[in-house]
Amino acid sequence: MRRSRLVPGLVSRIQRRTWRKGIHLKRPEELAIMRQAGRINALVLQTLRQAIRPGVSAAELDELAEKTIRKLGARPAFKGYPGPYPYPATITLSINDELVHGIPYPDKIIREGDLVSVDCGVIYKGYYADAAFTVAVGEVPPLAQELLRVTKEALDLAIRMAWPGRRTGDISAAIQQFVESHGFHVTRQYTGHGIGRWMHEDPAVPNFGEPGTGEVLRPGMVLALEPMVLVGTEETAVLDDEWTVVSADGSLTAHFEHTVAVTEFGPQVLTKV
């Protein structure tokens, strides 16, 4: 497919269309709902992870995701989401050099040796949850294994940094330094974000930055932290479906994400079973 270069920027054009300005600190009752939303999202991703195997189409996984979300009493957050045109599916499914926003087409078939990234969001009682994972299908080369390990550990590190009194830049810098110390790259064009009644809220949490900068973390903030890591370059491009983001050089990518609440007792991951 034809690839067109994105104009570099902190927040993607898709996020900018619906970004909610201002930081909203969640009350305990709101966090309780978001925990339920997060658990539903985690159960959906658990179901999808178990269903990923060679020969399965992305569209089959998308259908399974929507069925599971609705069975659990929530709604898909991505379907119809504003962008170049309303997003047409329940999940994004990105393979190998596709970093994020991959549309789950019926002819997108999972094969042995693929790296498959699945991103899913749900809406429950008016609140969003958002999470993602990347998984290797069967045997993959050592470089791909290392990419998965580093990206997952970058997310774990980011979560551990989400204490009151720290700043968003502390999280961003920790991700960047860890990823780059292993020879990989973080995207400059897509970012983690606040989340709550809107999918994308302040503050932005990039995967690069300087310690001591950005917003001060406070109890009640909820963040979608999401390292997006590329093997060969930080540059990305967009396919002509206007959604699917790929590495500009065709190299492998990985993406992990959790929705995380900042509390006085430390970070709490909401998108887990």
pLDDT higher than threshold 80 for residue 210: yes
User: What would the mean pLDDT of 15-35 be, rounded to a whole number?
Assistant: 89
Residue positions counted in the chain: 273
pLDDT higher than threshold 90 for residue 13: no
Helix/strand/coil for 116: strand
Q: Which domains does the chain have, with CATH numbers?
A: 3-269 (3.90.230.10)
Write out pLDDT tens, residues 131-145: 999 999 999 999 999
pLDDT of the residue at 4: 47
Cβ-based burial of 170 (10 A; exposed 0-12, middle 13-18, buried ≥19): buried
For residue 53, name the pLDDT band (cuts at 50, 70, 90): very high
pLDDT higher than threshold 60 for residue 108: yes
User: What would the mean pLDDT of 250-260 be, rounded to a whole number?
Assistant: 98
Element (H or E) spanning 111, and its range? none
For residue 3, name the pLDDT band (cuts at 50, 70, 90): very low
User: b vs e for 119-149, b when ≥16 Cβ sit within 10 Å of the residue's Cβ?
Assistant: bbbbbbeebbbbbbbbbbbeebeeebeebbe
For residue 224, name the pLDDT band (cuts at 50, 70, 90): very high
User: What would the mean pLDDT of 53-77 be, rounded to a whole number?
Assistant: 98
Residue that the structure tokens 């830049």 belong to: 169
For residue 21, name the pLDDT band (cuts at 50, 70, 90): confident
The contacts of residue 71 (CB under 8 Å, 6+ apart) are none
pLDDT of the residue at 5: 45
